[in-house]
Amino acid sequence: MMAVFTPPAFAAEGAGEPAPARDPARPPSTLSANVTFTSQYVGRGIRQSWGRPALQGGVDYVRPDGWSAGAWGSTVDERFVENGSRELDLYCGYTGTAGALGYNVSATYYLYPGARIAATHTRFDYGELSAGLTWKSFYVKYNVTVTPTFFGITQARGSGYVDVGIDHELGHRVTLNLHAGDGRVAGSGNAAWNWRDVRAGFTAQLDDRWSAAVAWSRAYGATPAYEHYSTGVRDRNGMPAVADVSRRAVVLTVTRTF
């Protein structure tokens, strides 16, 4: 689950002025895209495609001064996101270094076109601000919700998610990926949606364009809310579809970059 606020529009940098000469020692800005097929979409430990395969893709623009922006999307299951079948994330941020320490700040807005909780007419869209640090293979990142709602939960401004982990290169273009997360949903009565999650896996860079990954993940809810998750969408028998979206999952992915 994710969120973002819509960044304000900025005038083009240096509009109306001559373009400065480019420093040949500085690499040019890059624009890249990616497409991923995954056996299921698991976000922050929660199974968002109801255990089914998902198609994902994104585009990223990175400037040599550390600024970047992009968009990423995935299919989701309407039994997880009521009346929704797509997720679209819009983001921008800055990455820099201070000696051996890396740092990054970003803003993200999570959109679920057409998705809405029928009983309350609440949308699933939300926004986050994030700040993170990296050192060697280690990283820590904190995300805070800045919109009034968080994934359809109202009065949840200030919800937070701590993400810590290791991405350690093992050699032969294989990376070990370890992650632990802790999510706390702000607001009176919303603590029932608090959760923690863990993930372990490997990523292999097959060549300059193709990569593959395998990961095991598991989430642990503060209450049975995730174990008996339902948005009220009916199954083929006319009953509300219910599933444990926090249970362990093995995820296989293949990614192609352009």
Per cent of the chain over pLDDT 90 is 84
Assigned superfamily of 30-257: monomeric porin ompg (2.40.160.40)
Instruction: Dig out the tokens for 194 from the structure.
Output: 């608090």
Give dist(CA 35, CA 60) in Å, integer.
Answer: 12
Residue 4 has pLDDT above 70, yes or no: no
pLDDT tens digits along 129-138: 999 999 999 9
- The alpha carbon of residue 256 and the mean position of all alpha carbons in its chain are separated, in whole angstroms, by 18
* Secondary structure string (H, E, C) spanning 24-59: CCCCCCEEEEEEEEECCCEECCEECCCCCCEEEEEE
Residue 23 has pLDDT above 80, yes or no: no
Question: Tell me, what's the pLDDT at 235?
Answer: 86
* Least confident interval from 5-14, 136-145, 156-165: 5-14
Contact of 175 with 202, CB cutoff 8 Å: yes
Contact of 35 with 256, CB cutoff 8 Å: yes
pTM: 0.87
Residue 216 has pLDDT above 60, yes or no: yes
Give dist(CA 15, CA 183) in Å, integer.
Answer: 42
Mean pLDDT for the stretch of residues 197-203 = 98
- The alpha carbon of residue 28 and the mean position of all alpha carbons in its chain are separated, in whole angstroms, by 27
Give dist(CA 253, CA 41) in Å, integer.
Answer: 10
Domains of the chain by residue range: 30-257
Contact of 181 with 196, CB cutoff 8 Å: yes
Contact of 169 with 137, CB cutoff 8 Å: yes
| Bridging pattern class, strands 86-98 and 67-75 | antiparallel
Residue 2 has pLDDT above 70, yes or no: no
Burial 163-193 (b: 16+ CB within 10 A, else e): bebeeeeeeeeebebbbebebbbbbeebeeb
Mean pLDDT for the stretch of residues 48-61 = 98
Give dist(CA 14, CA 19) in Å, integer.
Answer: 7
pLDDT tens digits along 221-231: 999 999 999 98
Give dist(CA 197, CA 244) in Å, integer.
Answer: 14
Instruction: Dig out the tokens for 122 from the structure.
Output: 């609440």
Mean pLDDT for the stretch of residues 212-240 = 94
Question: Tell me, what's the pLDDT at 28?
Answer: 86
